[in-house]
Structure 1
Amino acid sequence: MSETRSSNFECLRILAIILILIMHSYAQANCKENLFNLFVGYVISAIGNIGVSCFVLLSGYFGVKFKMQRFIQLILITTFCTVISFIANHGWLFNISFFDSLIVVLRYKNWFIACYLILMLLSPFINKAMLALSKMEYNRLLIILFVTFSVLPTLFVSYYYTILTDGGKCLTYILFLYIIGRYLSLFYSEKKISKSLCLLSFLSLTILIVMLNVTISYVFHKECRIFSMDCSPLVLFSSLCVFFFFKGLALKSRLVNSIAASVLAVYLLDNLRLYVSDHIFDITLYAESNFFLLYLMVFVIVVFVLGIVIDKIRVFVCGKCENYIIKKL
């Protein structure tokens, strides 16, 4: 019997997707009046945005190796999940929107997948360039990128109209995170940091992010989430704390590994939240409830499990067909 591979980073992948689902589900609930639930939104924003960062840090740590089969497979999975989400939410309507879902990749409709596909194309060149740098040169590069793509956009720059767009939801920041991940792999693969220190640092950073955002919102009478943007230095440091926490775990689980294999599909099936809300559990009905947080967790679990089940069915039913298409292309 083959030995089960380590599951610590697989757990992190699962956590990353769940955090993204929680953040999106909270936004869908649209809380407006309950002060506690509004405060919960600030906490979710502070924690949720580390999801993508952790996912890309992991990609950088292990290194993306461009393979045409994997590239095509990701396009097929993205198209499949987009079509399934469309049918679930709108039925069998063969209109312009349906055909639009077939070319979601070409139109960059999913920002993360579009960026990740481009990252895959660029990865051979990035990996080779990073190996050519000394540690000191790498340090200087990271300082320049950190100031340019994290500090300045957070403190001074309008993040919608610069080389860094939408608070870090763009290719520029994804590449920055990937380069950090490569750095950790090249120079800190054996580095161990106390899990207690990582956890304490993460909690401290989360509290700081929430306090800054709430304070600015109160002073200027306008909702502020500046310090919980993807590109925020505080979110970046939080992501690194979580990364090193899971790096230090010793965990092996076939179940965890099996679930982790489907987390990208869960992310791509994110719009199933609309189906769940319409047909199973309407989260918007509890937006002002004092038990909203509990309802939110149940809602996220339902969406997550549904996504896992659909992906496992996809692999079972379409796996051979998918492999055939990949080989022919």
Structure 2
Amino acid sequence: MMKRKSNIELLRIIAMVMIVGHHYAVHGVLHKLTGGGGYIEGSLPNKILVCLLEPGGTVGVAVFFMITGFFLISRKEASPQKVIEETIYYGIICALAGVGVKLLTHEEISWGNILKTATVSATNGGVWWFATAYVFLLMLVPYINKYATGCSLIEYKKMLTIIWIFPYSGDILFSGLYTSVSKAILFYLIGGFIRRFKERIKIPPKICLAILVGGWILNSAVSFLEYEGMIGKLGDIINESLFTCVTACALFILFCNLDLSNKYVNKISSTMYGVYLISDSIVLREFIWNNIWRVNLQYKQSNFALLAMISIVGTVVVCGLIDYTRILFIEPWLRKTIPPQNIYANKSSISNNNSRPSPHLPPKSLR
């Protein structure tokens, strides 16, 4: 039997580290969702580091959707069952943890958020936007694939261009209601494009690496100008519609060209969706970054870079270990109780065995 390769699984892990790094900056330093934060309190090197962490969220999420498209573009069916199950499971766990934190530490956690996290709204009520977009995407996969798999190279490029200009960039420009869904569809199709026409994509690794580094630096520079008050919200529009796309594509193509097989990488990658759900829960994330890691204090230190690295990696490791216990003890019981639907139908439809999808989505598996 051919060994399952780990290049895409390693990319999944790196993407999650990038996303957690982004959350470290957004929720720990910038406090974007709670009325602004202490960006101005840091030294210039610390400000630059925060801006270098910033692209990890949008690029990492794009990569996760691309991985989904890479694995599922030739499938006739896809079920959101396992994503919904895992999301609801962590909705309940995070809600219970939130109650404990609120009662024991008197942390200002909304009872409304706790209730919303504990119910089915964990999947469709704005608790985890990625989960909502991902479930919606999986429901659309059979219909998207029906057209995408019949496209020629030119037709596929035209389709990507139209989606990039109108629903994706247009939603970002005008703050549309469906930005997350259009993002999911666009990057799913880009991942599918790379899978279908991989042999025609001849970009040397050195060029991919140069584009990746250059795109990341430009993305960070635009964020720096935005946070310094020089360009306002225009920075988000430039980064999301341009630099995120370029950087994510370069990163993905770079890893597609790797030849790696490691069972430990595969096991670790299976916990990444759980890492996202735990670390970005609306009832726990402020507690994680402000009470456990005390990012506000770290940001004022001269060794901020080292403290940030420890906090980000530590969060991924601890949350990954928590999810691994779910995989070992909860998942087998759940499979006996609720038989899985045919999540990956028509398995013979993918001829390229570069990697094998897993039930831990996306696809096995992010704010």
Q: TM-score range by the shorter chain?
A: 0.7 to 0.9
1:292 aligns with 2:304: yes
Match of 1:63 in 2: 72
Contact kept, 8 Å, 1:25 with 1:273, in 2: the verdict is: no
Contact kept, 8 Å, 1:45 with 1:228, in 2: the verdict is: no
Task: Give the counterpart letter for 1:264 in structure 2.
Answer: Y
What is the Cα deviation at residue 300 of structure 1? 1.3
Match of 2:354 in 1: none
Return the alpha-carbon distance in structure 2 between the equivalents of residues 235 and 242 of structure 1: 11
Return the alpha-carbon distance in structure 2 between the equivalents of residues 318 and 208 of structure 1: 43
Task: Give the counterpart letter for 1:78 in structure 2.
Answer: T
Q: The residue matched to 2:276 in structure 1 has which SS? A: helix
Q: The residue matched to 1:232 in structure 2 has which SS? A: helix
**Range with bigger deviation, 124-133 or 216-225:** 216-225
| Selected match of 2:96 from 87, 112, 116 | 87
Match of 1:203 in 2: 213
Return the alpha-carbon distance in structure 2 between the equivalents of residues 234 and 193 of structure 1: 18
Match of 1:131 in 2: 149
**Range with bigger deviation, 191-200 or 241-250:** 191-200
Q: Against the structure 1 CA distance between its residues 284 and 215, is the aligned structure 2 distance closer, same or farther, given a 3 Å change threshold? A: closer
What is the Cα deviation at residue 106 of structure 1? 3.6
What is the Cα deviation at residue 304 of structure 1? 0.8
What is the Cα deviation at residue 274 of structure 1? 4.3
1:38 aligns with 2:47: yes
1:314 aligns with 2:326: yes
Match of 1:17 in 2: 16
Q: Against the structure 1 CA distance between its residues 218 and 139, is the aligned structure 2 distance closer, same or farther, given a 3 Å change threshold? A: same
| Selected match of 2:252 from 243, 247, 252 | 243
**Range with bigger deviation, 119-128 or 28-37:** 28-37
Contact kept, 8 Å, 2:21 with 2:56, in 1: the verdict is: no
What is the Cα deviation at residue 306 of structure 1? 1.3
CA offsets, 1:238-296, max 9 Å, x none? Answer: 00000011111111111100000111111111135445447643223212112112111
1:260 aligns with 2:294: no
Q: The residue matched to 1:105 in structure 2 has which SS? A: helix
CA offsets, 1:9-66, max 9 Å, x none? Answer: 0011001111110110122222421132222222212343200001111111111647
CA offsets, 1:197-216, max 9 Å, x none? Answer: 11111111222223344346
**Range with bigger deviation, 139-148 or 271-280:** 271-280
Q: The residue matched to 1:5 in structure 2 has which SS? A: coil
Return the alpha-carbon distance in structure 2 between the equivalents of residues 248 and 221 of structure 1: 37
TM-score, reference length from structure 1: 0.86
* CA-based RMSD: 2.8
TM-score, reference length from structure 2: 0.77
Q: The residue matched to 2:85 in structure 1 has which SS? A: helix
CA offsets, 1:171-213, max 9 Å, x none? Answer: 1121111112222211225644322111111111222223344
Match of 1:185 in 2: 195
Stretches of structure 2 that go unaligned for 5 or more consecutive residues are: 30-37, 104-110, 342-367
Matches within 5 A, 1:160-175: 160=175, 162=176, 164-165=178-179, 170-175=180-185
Contact kept, 8 Å, 2:22 with 2:55, in 1: the verdict is: no
Return the alpha-carbon distance in structure 2 between the equivalents of residues 173 and 224 of structure 1: 18
Matches within 5 A, 1:141-152: 141-152=159-170
Q: How many residues align?
A: 318
Contact kept, 8 Å, 1:26 with 1:41, in 2: the verdict is: yes
Contact kept, 8 Å, 1:273 with 1:303, in 2: the verdict is: no
1:77 aligns with 2:77: no
Return the alpha-carbon distance in structure 2 between the equivalents of residues 328 and 18 of structure 1: 29
Q: The residue matched to 1:175 in structure 2 has which SS? A: helix
**Range with bigger deviation, 188-197 or 256-265:** 188-197
Return the alpha-carbon distance in structure 2 between the equivalents of residues 138 and 225 of structure 1: 29
Contact kept, 8 Å, 2:99 with 2:114, in 1: the verdict is: no
Task: Give the counterpart letter for 1:15 in structure 2.
Answer: I
Q: Against the structure 1 CA distance between its residues 216 and 305, is the aligned structure 2 distance closer, same or farther, given a 3 Å change threshold? A: closer
Stretches of structure 1 that go unaligned for 5 or more consecutive residues are: none
**Range with bigger deviation, 251-260 or 293-302:** 293-302
Return the alpha-carbon distance in structure 2 between the equivalents of residues 146 and 75 of structure 1: 28
Q: The residue matched to 2:335 in structure 1 has which SS? A: helix
Return the alpha-carbon distance in structure 2 between the equivalents of residues 190 and 137 of structure 1: 15
Q: The residue matched to 1:220 in structure 2 has which SS? A: coil
**Range with bigger deviation, 308-317 or 257-266:** 308-317
Task: Give the counterpart letter for 2:188 in structure 1.
Answer: Y
Match of 2:5 in 1: 6
Return the alpha-carbon distance in structure 2 between the equivalents of residues 25 and 228 of structure 1: 22
Match of 1:226 in 2: 236
Q: The residue matched to 2:20 in structure 1 has which SS? A: helix
